[in-house]
Amino acid sequence: MVAEEDLESEKKEIIRRYRRLLRKAKPILKDGDAKIIKKAFNTSMEAHSGMRRRSGEPYIFHPLEVAEICISEIGLGTTSIVAALLHDVVEDTDYEIEDIERLFGKRVAVIIDGLTKISGVFDQGSSQQAENFRKMLLTLSDDVRVILIKLADRLHNMRTLESMPRHKQLKIANETIYLYAPLAHRLGLYAFKSELEDLYLKYSEPEVFEDIAGKINETKDSRNKFIRNFIRPIKDKLNALNIEYEIKGRPKSIHSIWNKMKKQSVPFEEVYDLFAIRIILNVSFKDEKAFCWQVYSLVTDYYQPNPDRLRDWISIPKANGYESLHTTVMSDTGKWVEVQVRTTRMDEIAEKGYAAHWKYKDGKTTDETGLEMWIAKVREILEQNNANAIEFVDDFRSNLYSDEVFVFTPKGDLKTLPQGATALDFAFDIHTEIGEHCLGAKVNQKLVPLNFELKNGDQVEILTSNKQKPNESWLQYVVSSKAKSKIKDALKEERKVFIDEGREIVKRKLKQLKIEYKQTVLEEIANYFNVKSPVDMLYLVGTGKIDHSLIKSFVKNKKTVVEKPSVRGAKDVEEKLSRVRKTDSDLLLLGEDLDIIDYKFAKCCNPIPGDDVFGFVTVSDGIKIHRTTCPNAAELLANYGYRIIKAKWASSRKHSFEATLSIIGTDRMGLVSDVSNIISEELKVNMRSLSINTEGGIFEGLIRLYVEDTSHIDTLTKKLEKVNGVVKVSRSN
């Protein structure tokens, strides 16, 4: 029970937060808007009455915070504030969509429906997470605000993830990095994207996060001093331009620094562009380009630019609407510094993405922005895509982070495609029919094959033939969602024709052999020919790859159907663990539970005791144990929540586990001997193999050995790094 005085102070806090929301919304409110927001707030208060979040706070705090993020961090309007206040009402309370429509109108109801998760029974093997994500994306056809409110909801959930149990933290964090951060990136919400990525790291690898955050903080004073010294010489020249400007120096996000450390295999101290300097100009729309280039010129007059690091997103903005001029210059102290030049308008679009476009679009231009074109493309893909939800999400996701390549049609029209796009992607981008009949292309007047990768500035002409049609190999030639989806549709159509043909042949054959045509018989035939499913068997018969005369031999050697193991969800496993142990614990204890549940360690990440892990129920290979930092973790946790099992190491027994260490250093006589002595003699570790490759005085090696746990491997790493000549030792998957 909550004490009376606590309830009173909670009420005051709710009112305080509500008033803060209204204050922030005030600049955009029109007549009657405050009344609608008040009605939505009261409805949400009443619906969530008595409900509390995992942290113990009143539930109403959450919708209020989401609404505030929508207004102050994205810049959305009244409809979005109302929808944000009501976003969990249909899902978590007795309210129905019809009630929302009656009280707040059709538009709000459509948004709430898009934000409400799907309930009900799913096909075996499908993923509720993926189905929900697809449902949310489908509302792009109606209203992009659904996605923006969902991102605000996700950001607030990530900011308050502290109170969740560890397994929930991992699931939500991985779903965020797999789907929501790329979506924020694509919609131009860079501030959202960076915060979501940092919060993911905070919960997935807390030690790494704390370490980098601490180092950023420690270097704050020296960084500020460096920025002051860097901008001093260019300030006078900027003042001479007689325009308003602002200079900001900001560190890169923790996640992007961590990515650089991993990609370049360097410690924090050696990441060269830890921060960027942003020069923001307050100039009129028509003068933007001229002033940005003028400021670029001033900076590069004083500091030497890196010619490979100039990015001009002012002449051709990114597909998500991002505009800025980036260059990397060498400072007086020998450090590379990234300098971004942009205007106030560009800066707001970069921070608030999609929502900021409308503010600046009025009366400025009638052209479609790159972002609108992208959303139109997404709508097209969504409306035609009938793949299963997981395939759809993977396809969609692969197009979220990709950079763009800019190419031209024969008439000089500019087309934006994902990085790595081929001539075949270009053909499907122009029209489905042209894609399906594409024979080849001319790029800059030269004949090229379908899988020719396009580069910025290429001019492309597509060659077609009515005899040409898509085949399986085409899927290897394309990277865009649109092309993949269209090729799959064409192949499905063709496959359906062959399946129907195969069905007629098998029916006829079974009738001759006086055997009833039914599912169990089809399964027996598929099993006899060692084919995955009856549908695959019918397809192979229809294409002639299984000769129908062989069905006779099946009857002679009739085999019984071998039952395939069905996909068990995590629930079955957890129930079994609780039942056998006669406790409420549904945690899989590694090292103790093999007699209850059979499990294996995943080869992709080779977990050892001390690693943070989870269990995954596979379709046919039992339970696999993965590290939470496994390269496949984000996809498994984001798409297959119903197959994830909580797991941890039992500390009572010592076992040996295989691990691989990567070692890099400068070559010298006796180095291998010193390394193997430390492993075998000093630490008494059993080594399985040691392979060393030396080139140009640098050696790289892989050591496979047996260790007891992560602390054992840490001790070994520290000892090896002290060996003369060894530069870096790290654990490899």
- pLDDT (tens digit per residue) in 155-198: 999 999 998 888 888 888 988 888 888 888 877 788 889 999 99
**CATH of residue 289:** 3.30.460.10
Nearest alpha-carbon partner for 134 in 168, 194, 183, 177: 183
Q: Average model confidence (pLDDT) for the chain?
A: 81
User: Do 158 and 20 sit in the same domain of this protein?
Assistant: yes
In a domain, 256, yes or no: yes
User: Do 574 and 672 sit in the same domain of this protein?
Assistant: no
User: Do 322 and 339 sit in the same domain of this protein?
Assistant: yes
pLDDT at 703: 84
Question: Is 523 an active-site residue?
Answer: no
pLDDT at 260: 86
User: Do 160 and 31 sit in the same domain of this protein?
Assistant: yes
pLDDT at 364: 45
User: Do 691 and 574 sit in the same domain of this protein?
Assistant: no
- Rounded to whole angstroms, the Cα distance separating 87 from 99 reads 13
**CATH of residue 671:** 3.30.70.260
User: Do 45 and 173 sit in the same domain of this protein?
Assistant: yes
User: Do 631 and 547 sit in the same domain of this protein?
Assistant: no
User: Do 91 and 156 sit in the same domain of this protein?
Assistant: yes
Answer for the pair 86, 112: CB distance below 8 angstroms, yes or no: yes
Please identify, among 175, 206, 237, the residue that sits at the C-terminal boundary of a domain: 206
- Supply the angle between the helices 534-542 and 481-512 in degrees, to the nearest 10: 80
pLDDT in tens, 13-34: 999 999 999 999 888 888 888 9
Of the residues 6, 8, 46, 91, only one is catalytic, namely 91
In a domain, 448, yes or no: no
**CATH of residue 80:** 1.10.3210.10
CB atoms within 10 A of CB 244: 10
Give the count of domains, the chain: 5
User: Do 18 and 152 sit in the same domain of this protein?
Assistant: yes
Question: Is 68 an active-site residue?
Answer: no
- Where in the sequence is the domain holding 710, given as residue range(s)? 657-732
Answer for the pair 306, 328: CB distance below 8 angstroms, yes or no: yes
pLDDT at 561: 40
pLDDT band at 371 (very low <50, low <70, confident <90, very high): low
User: Do 161 and 201 sit in the same domain of this protein?
Assistant: yes
pLDDT at 658: 77
- Rounded to whole angstroms, the Cα distance separating 487 from 481 reads 10
pLDDT band at 391 (very low <50, low <70, confident <90, very high): low
In a domain, 465, yes or no: no
pLDDT in tens, 444-495: 889 998 999 998 888 999 999 888 889 888 988 998 878 888 888 888 888 8
pLDDT at residue 281 is higher than 90: yes
In a domain, 435, yes or no: no
In a domain, 374, yes or no: no
Please identify, among 206, 222, 249, the residue that sits at the C-terminal boundary of a domain: 206
pLDDT at residue 66 is higher than 60: yes
- Rounded to whole angstroms, the Cα distance separating 228 from 219 reads 14
* 3-state SS assignment for residue 228: helix
In a domain, 723, yes or no: yes
pLDDT at residue 683 is higher than 80: no
Please identify, among 315, 333, 361, the residue that sits at the C-terminal boundary of a domain: 361
In a domain, 608, yes or no: yes
Of residues 385 and 117, which shows the higher confidence score?
117
In a domain, 386, yes or no: no
Q: Report the chain's terminal Cα–Cα distance, integer Å.
A: 49
Q: Which two tokens stand for residue 73?
A: 């961090």
Of the residues 92, 205, 635, 674, only one is catalytic, namely 92
Amino acid identity at 53: R
User: Do 26 and 171 sit in the same domain of this protein?
Assistant: yes
User: Do 142 and 255 sit in the same domain of this protein?
Assistant: no
pLDDT at 644: 85
pLDDT at 362: 47
Amino acid identity at 176: T
